[in-house]
Amino acid sequence: MHQPQPHFRHATTWPVTFYAGDMVLYRDAVRFWAGEPGHTVVCRVVRTEPDGTYELSNVKTLHRIVGARPEYMRLLPPADTMRDIDTAPLNTDGAAAEMTSAATAWLAQQSARPCQPPVKGEQPPQRS
């Protein structure tokens, strides 16, 4: 007698747990297979649903995506997001020209902060 073989639907993926605040790349499978544009978007994870799906927020449009299945999501690692800052050749001429404007603004803000007194409310609570 022939036994049906198990179907491994997720053969090329592994179990991943996403957390609120994670940045992910999400692909709308229906739009993808229909050949429609805009099928892949960058989102922020809003929450995990009880059924194992996720609620996402498109970072560009702020449109909510409910019921996103994890097999159509990929984590966007913070290290990749910060690579231009982490690898910027800060000790060479023209280094600022090689960074994005956001990276340059962030560095300028960080270098200016130590010279300014802390703003009340930004200080960590004092230990007793």
pLDDT digits (tens, 9 = 90+) for 26-50: 999 999 999 999 999 999 999 999 9
Residue 76's contacts (CB-CB under 8 Å, 6 or more residues apart) are 22, 23, 24, 25, 42
**Shared-domain flag, residues 54 and 69:** yes
- Identify whether 35 is part of a domain: yes
**So what's the pLDDT on residue 8?**
46
Q: Which residue numbers in the chain have pLDDT < 50?
A: 5-8, 10
**So what's the pLDDT on residue 83?**
82
Going by C-alpha positions, the residue among 32, 7, 14 that lies closest to residue 70 is 14
- Identify whether 85 is part of a domain: yes
**Number of domains, the chain:** 2
- To the question of pTM greater than 0.75 for the whole model, the response is no
Write out the residue range of the structural domain in which residue 44 sits: 23-76
Asked if 39 and 27 count as a contact pair (C-beta separation under 8 A), the reply is: yes
**Shared-domain flag, residues 47 and 87:** no
**Shared-domain flag, residues 87 and 54:** no
